């Protein structure tokens, strides 16, 4: 028997309609390539969004069609989010910093009909154009005065496109499972894979993101969106801010510029900011050099990579800013976990709090989380057992877009395997200990390569260290330590191995050490363990 409640769908257009009526005067402030200080209100934004929806109609785009964006965080990108998804098309955000061949692959794989491109990204698109056979036209996100010369045949100007359109548009109502947005993950191996979000997943994710123990967005907030809108929908901030009537500040191309961020924060009285750790290092470094402060900011959310404890501590001690580290992936929209103090944790010292805040965080209602052993059996939440981290919920991907030959990302029970290995403590705090492909499987038990690496670099003579599992006749795999040592300082194999005694479980201790001149790295600066495993493919333990 069904309940007798309205079957009103959860649609992205309903967020827009709600903000338009309830927070018409709230501001959106942007830095763009053509204007360092653009400001308008939600009322203005959604009037232009309706003009844009009419313009898209005139271009002949239909429900379900993909529209690509290659743009920084600003008001035009925000308008695209709502006009494209609100009309039932798919807003396909593309990272312009990927390798050019990846950008080409992504646009062609998604079959984007039109591209909306930031002025600063136009040189890239000019170069790629001959390979983008399916794209019907390019809209440059600027006004006539700033239009660049172009070799591309069907180039249009964003402002000109909007100028002639009516600001009246009836947003269509459709199934909430309709695709709303598309974002490709740039994995370290193989081609990028597309995650196709729905209106339902976006709206539920925004509700959860605003909760007091998550990002606690309210109408009082002024949100600085530093995380790019091409990274997992800007972590959902473009949806959650209008949902609660928060003021929005978008730094455009200035997202990694500590000085520019500091000026923007103070000019607009930003209360909360979201971004990756690198951004906060840049900001903190500027604050340190200049002696500037950011008194309006009370919290910062960090994700995308493990946040060093030093960032958390500096923000708190020097600037009275509480850092909330979250964990998520493109496949999880991205909100998976976020740290929050729970009363059950009892009295915590400042130091214990920092330690906890440096972990990946606690579950958020809507995401179920488990760790499993090699037989897919759930492991206890005791802070010790570690296993494959799996998640489930209405904003988790069930498959990749048009990935005919790819693996199903779900396990036999329907859980998404994150590819991470983690522990979960009795309070529900999750800590990632390794990547699944890097964990060392020794005699049916797992050894964390990351923990061994962290231990190794603690040795004064070690510059950099990697640990990989290598075949072992008795234990299946055993850890091999590969190190770069300091030039002036000879360290022997025995000395290095002895360093692990008392620092890790005895059976975790590496079986051997390989000394190398340098370690290979990926484009994003991580140790390239795939290369290392190839390099040591024929290695045998002594």
User: Which residues between 240 and 299 bind its own copies (CB under 8 A)?
Assistant: 243-245, 247
Q: CB-wise, 40 or 207, nearer to its own copies?
A: 207
Catalytically annotated residue among 129, 280, 327, 446: 446
The residue from 64, 123, 380, 406 that contacts its own copies (CB under 8 A) is: 64
Question: Does residue 412 touch its own copies according to CB under 8 A?
Answer: no
Site of tokens 């809108």:
229
Cα gap 375→476, rounded to integer Å: 16
Q: What is the DSSP string of 273-289?
A: EEE-HHHHHHHHHHHHH
- Minimum Å gap between C-beta 500 and its own copies is 34
**CA 113 from centroid of its chain's CA atoms:** 25
Return the range that interacts with its own copies (CB under 8 A); candidates 7-15, 136-144, 225-233, 284-292. 7-15
Chain positions 308 to 337 lying near its own copies, rule: CB under 8 A, are: 333
The nearest distance, CB 514 to its own copies, in angstroms, is 42
Q: Phi and psi at residue 330, in whole multiples of 5°?
A: -55, -40
Which of 14/485 has CB closer to its own copies?
14
Q: Which residues between 351 and 370 bind its own copies (CB under 8 A)? A: 362-363, 365, 368
User: Collapsing DSSP states into helix, strand and coil, what is residue 345?
Assistant: helix
Binding mask 203-242 for its own copies (x = CB under 8 A): -x--xx-xxxx--xxxxx----------------------
- Interaction between residue 91 and its own copies (CB under 8 A): no
> Rounded to an integer, what distance in angstroms lies between the CA atom of residue 407 and that of residue 387?
20
- Considering only 84, 223, 294, 396, the residue that binds its own copies (CB under 8 A) is 396
Q: Is 441 a catalytic residue?
A: yes
170 binds its own copies (CB under 8 A): no
Strand partners, 442: 445, 476
Question: Site for its own copies (CB under 8 A): which residue of 12, 13, 14, 390?
Answer: 14
- Name all contacts of 472-476 with Cβ < 8 Å and 24+ positions apart: 472/442, 472/511, 472/541, 474/443, 475/442, 475/443, 476/441, 476/442, 476/443, 476/444
Q: How far apart are CA 493 and CA 481, in angstroms?
A: 10
Q: Give ∠ CA 238-244-245 in degrees, rounded to 5.
A: 80
Distances (CA, A) of 196 to 13, 180, 472: 18, 7, 41
Per CB under 8 A, the list member of 235, 416, 475, 500 interacting with its own copies is 416
Per annotation, catalytic residue among 331, 395, 423, 509:
331
The verdict on 411 binding its own copies (CB under 8 A) reads no
Q: Where are the beta strands (DSSP E) in 402-473?
A: 416-424, 430-435, 440-442, 445-447, 462-472
Nearest approach in angstroms of CB 106 to its own copies is: 16
185 is catalytic: yes
Report 19-58 residues binding its own copies (CB under 8 A). 21-26
Judged by beta carbon, residue 1 or residue 518, the one nearer its own copies is 1
C-alpha pair distances (Å), 295 with each of 298, 321, 527? 8, 9, 37
- 3-state DSSP call for residue 316? helix
* Stretch touching its own copies by CB under 8 A, among 92-100, 161-169, 172-180, 305-313: 172-180
Footprint of its own copies on 481-520 (CB under 8 A): none
Catalytic residue flag (residue 41): no
**Footprint of its own copies on 94-133 (CB under 8 A):** none
Q: Tell whether residue 392 is a contact of its own copies (CB under 8 A).
A: yes
Binding of its own copies by 398 (CB under 8 A)? yes
Nearer to its own copies, 148 or 426 (CB): 426
Q: What are phi and psi of 141, to 5 degrees?
A: -80, 75
Which region, judged by CB under 8 A, interacts with its own copies, from 75-83, 197-205, 256-264, 439-447? 197-205
Can you tell me the distance from the alpha carbon of 227 to that of 73, in angstroms, rounded to the nearest whole number?
8
Applying CB under 8 A, the site for its own copies has a residue count of 76
Q: How far is CA 314 from CA 249, 292, 311, in A?
A: 24, 14, 5
Catalytic center residues: 185, 331, 441, 446
């Amino acid at each position: 028997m069904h309940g007798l409640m309205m079957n009103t769908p959860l649609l992205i257009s309903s967020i827009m309609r709600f903000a338009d009526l309830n927070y018409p005067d709230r501001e959106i402030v942007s830095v763009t390539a053509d204007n360092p200080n653009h400001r308008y209100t939600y009322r203005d934004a959604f009037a232009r969004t309706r003009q844009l929806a009419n313009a898209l109609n005139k271009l002949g785009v239909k429900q379900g069609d993909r529209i690509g964006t290659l743009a920084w965080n600003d008001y035009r990108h925000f308008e695209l989010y709502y006009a494209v998804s609100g009309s039932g098309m798919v807003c396909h955000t593309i990272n312009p910093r990927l390798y050019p061949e990846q950008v080409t692959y992504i646009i062609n794989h998604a079959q984007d009909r039109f591209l909306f491109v930031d002025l600063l990204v136009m040189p890239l698109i000019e170069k790629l154009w001959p390979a983008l056979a399916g794209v019907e036209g390019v809209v440059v996100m600027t006004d006539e005065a700033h239009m660049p010369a172009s070799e591309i045949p069907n180039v249009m100007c964003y402002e000109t496109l909007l100028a002639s359109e009516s600001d009246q548009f009836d947003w269509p109502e459709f199934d909430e499972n309709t695709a709303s947005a598309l974002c490709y993950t740039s994995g370290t191996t193989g081609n990028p894979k597309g995650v196709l979000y729905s209106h339902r997943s976006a709206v539920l994710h925004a509700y959860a993101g605003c909760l007091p123990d998550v990002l606690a967005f309210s109408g009082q907030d002024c949100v600085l969106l530093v995380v790019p809108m091409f990274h997992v929908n800007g972590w959902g901030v473009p949806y959650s801010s209008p949902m609660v009537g928060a003021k929005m500040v978008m730094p455009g191309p200035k997202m990694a510029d500590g000085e520019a961020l500091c000026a923007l924060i103070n000019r607009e009285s930003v209360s909360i900011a979201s971004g990756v750790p690198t951004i906060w290092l840049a900001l903190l470094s500027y604050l340190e050099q200049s002696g500037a402060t950011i008194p309006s900011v009370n919290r910062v959310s960090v994700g995308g990579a493990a946040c060093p404890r030093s960032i958390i501590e500096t923000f708190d001690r020097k600037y009275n800013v509480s850092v909330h580290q979250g964990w998520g992936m493109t496949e999880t929209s991205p909100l998976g976990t976020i740290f929050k103090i729970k009363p059950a944790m009892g009295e915590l010292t400042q130091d214990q709090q920092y330690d906890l805040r440096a972990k990946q965080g606690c579950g958020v209602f809507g995401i179920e989380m488990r760790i499993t052993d090699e037989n897919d059996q759930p492991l206890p939440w005791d802070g010790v057992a570690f296993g494959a981290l799996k998640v489930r919920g209405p904003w988790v991907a069930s498959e990749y877009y048009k990935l005919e030959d790819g693996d199903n990302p779900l396990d036999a029970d329907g859980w998404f395997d994150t590819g991470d290995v983690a522990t979960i403590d009795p309070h529900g705090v999750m800590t990632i200990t390794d990547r699944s492909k890097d964990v060392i499987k020794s005699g049916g038990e797992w050894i964390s390569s990351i923990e061994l690496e962290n231990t190794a670099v603690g040795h004064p003579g070690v510059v950099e260290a990697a640990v990989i599992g290598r075949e072992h006749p008795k234990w299946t795999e055993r850890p091999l330590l590969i190190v770069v040592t300091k030039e002036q300082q000879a360290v022997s194999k025995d000395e290095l191995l002895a360093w692990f005694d008392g620092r890790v479980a005895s059976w975790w201790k590496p079986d051997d050490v390989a000394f190398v001149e340098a370690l290979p790295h990926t484009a994003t600066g991580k140790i390239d363990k795939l290369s290392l495993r190839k390099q040591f493919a024929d290695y045998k333990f002594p």
